Structures are given as structure tokens and as C-alpha cells.
Amino acid sequence: MGLVVKHTGIQYTVQLNENGERINCTLRGKLRLKDDKTTNPVAVGDIVDIDLDENQKSGVIVKVHPRKNYIIRKPSNLSKQAHIVAANIDTAFLTVTFTMPEIKLEFVDRFLLTTEAYHIPTIIIVNKTDLYTTVELKRTLAEFKDIYGKAGYEILEISAAKKINIDKLKEKMKNKVSVFLGNSGVGKSTLINCVDFSQNTKTGKISDAHKSGMHTTTFYEMFKLDFGGYIIDTPGLKGFGLTDEFKKTEMYHFFPEIFKFSKNCKYNPCLHTHEPQCGVKTAVENGDIAVSRYNNYLKIINNDNTKYRY
């Protein structure tokens, strides 16, 4: 039995014990054929059984143990298959920035919908706060905190460059399996270096031409932290497509504040769109639910989610 700590192409790296012994593995053909809904039947964070080769230096993954949760997304190339980002997660850290690159709230809401659906506690990291010196950016930060604070999410204001609140982040990660996700260029790899410099994760520069991040992590990898626990680094995401597993009538369950006020609706079921005496629409009018969150909820239930991309 071992822990999948790296996935690149058709190769997997499996950690066999707490001492860190690792072995390169491939995937048994039956497992590849069995799962035709995802691009990767095995993900970083999975617990697996392997058969060692005669030389005891490589192996084949023959079984994946049941997962307690996972993050899954539809790739932006409109593939019918989904991709499992990571499995068996204690905390997901969604990393966002308001400049270089600028975050899109629909990306945030689609990501949070997925972590809610799969019961993954999520903390939002606002990185590069040392750059938010203008009145406009300070207002953007305040509005963001109001939107997602009302939704019940914890928000950490951090600057990897200035080492601001890194200790608070480490405390949240201690002795847990954490995954960092976000758009390219938001500073995930730099944050990982701040948390545990021994990782020496590759970092890259922002594209000045497009004000968007360049991919610096090109595969999925799990690192053991020197203060306890593990962290999973992932490639930057350009979009977060939702899978076909989500039903339109259940989508509001995964917006905590919308679900909360849905109890005040006269009719059940209620999609919170056109129905009279809808508790959710009343909450939006009263400012208890952010207009942006409600509008993104409407976009998600009314559009073909597989076509979403930035």
C-alpha cells in the first residue's frame, strides 16, 4: 500500500512509507479501461495497492482505495471526460489576486461550488496584498471580503513577497493534507516556498503583455511539510468547468448562503429564479446574499457548464 505523491503523464510516483521511500509506477490496464469518465483514474492523494517488479525498483498500481473526497473539474478543451485534481484532502486553499492576474468571481464561485459538493473545507487566500495600495484595489478587497464573508468563508490576507501572515497559513496547514489551487500567476508556488522553503518549488514571472500568469507547475505533486502534514501543488487553472454530476435542481445546495435562505421559500422545490415568495430573492434584495453570487448561480444553472472558459 502506498500514497500517490506525483502524477505526470502516464507516470505516477508512489510513497511507500513515512520514511519517504518512493517508487515510479504505471497503471494497470484494467484500471484505465474501468474509468471512462475521467482522464486520470488515479490522482495525487490516492491510497493505492501496487505490485512491485522483479527488481523492486518500479511497480504497477493495481487498486485505488475508496476516497473520502476529491476535487474534479471539466477541462477547458470541452472534453467529455473530467479530471480529478486531487484526492483525500483536509483543506483546499483557493488562491486569488486582484491584479497580475485579476480574479474572475465566476471562477471562484464554480470552484467553491465543487468543494462544497464534495465536502472539502475551503479557505480563500488573497495573495499579493502588499500591492493593494490604491483606493480602487482597497475597495475591491473590501467588497470581496464582504461577498465571501457573508457566504461563510474564511479569508486570509497574505503577501508571499513580504511574508505577511505566513505563520497563520502554516497553522491552518499543520498536520493536514492541503491543496493549493488558483489561476496561473497568483503565486501558489511562491507561497509554498514561504511555508516550507525546503520545497524549492519553481516560480515564474507574470506575463506583462496579458497580465495573466504563465504556468510554472506543469504536473501535480504532493510535498511533505517539515512542520507536519502534506501540501499538493497543482498547475494554474484557466477555468473551472463543472462536471455533469451536478443537477440543476440541487445546485443551490452548494451556495451556503443561498441554501440558508432557501428555507424561507414558499414553494419546494424552488429554483430561486421566477418563483413567487422566494426567500432567496428576498435575501438578495435585502443585501444578505451578494448580487454577484446570485447572478453566478443563475449563470451556472441556465448555461451549459462545459462551455465555460476564461
Give the long-range contacts of residues 14-20, CB within 8 A, separation 24 or more.
14/48, 14/50, 14/59, 14/61, 20/224
Alpha carbon 54 to its chain centroid, in Å, reads: 38
CA distance 277 to 264: 8
Question: DSSP characters for 25-60?
Answer: EEE-HHHHHH--SBS-SS-TT-EEEEEE-TTSSEEE
Tell me the fold of 87-233: Rossmann fold (3.40.50)
Domain 2-64 has CATH 2.60.120.10: no
Domain-wise residue ranges, the chain: 2-64, 87-233, 248-307
**pLDDT in single tens digits along all 310 residues of the chain:** 899 999 887 889 999 877 778 999 988 877 765 666 777 889 999 999 999 887 778 899 999 999 999 988 876 555 567 888 899 999 999 999 998 788 889 989 999 999 999 999 999 999 999 999 999 999 999 999 999 999 999 999 999 889 999 999 999 999 999 998 888 788 888 888 888 866 555 444 333 433 444 444 457 889 889 899 999 887 765 556 566 667 888 899 999 999 999 999 999 889 999 999 999 999 999 999 999 999 999 999 987 443 433 2
Give the global pTM. Answer: 0.84
Q: So what's the architecture of 248-307 in CATH?
A: Orthogonal Bundle (1.10)
CA nearest to 231, candidates 256, 264, 199:
199
Greatest alpha-carbon span in the chain: 69
Instruction: Give every CB contact of residue 51 below 8 A, 6+ residues apart in sequence.
Output: 59, 60, 62
CA nearest to 206, candidates 113, 102, 133, 294:
102
> Peptide bond preceding 101: is omega within 30 degrees of 0, i.e. cis?
yes
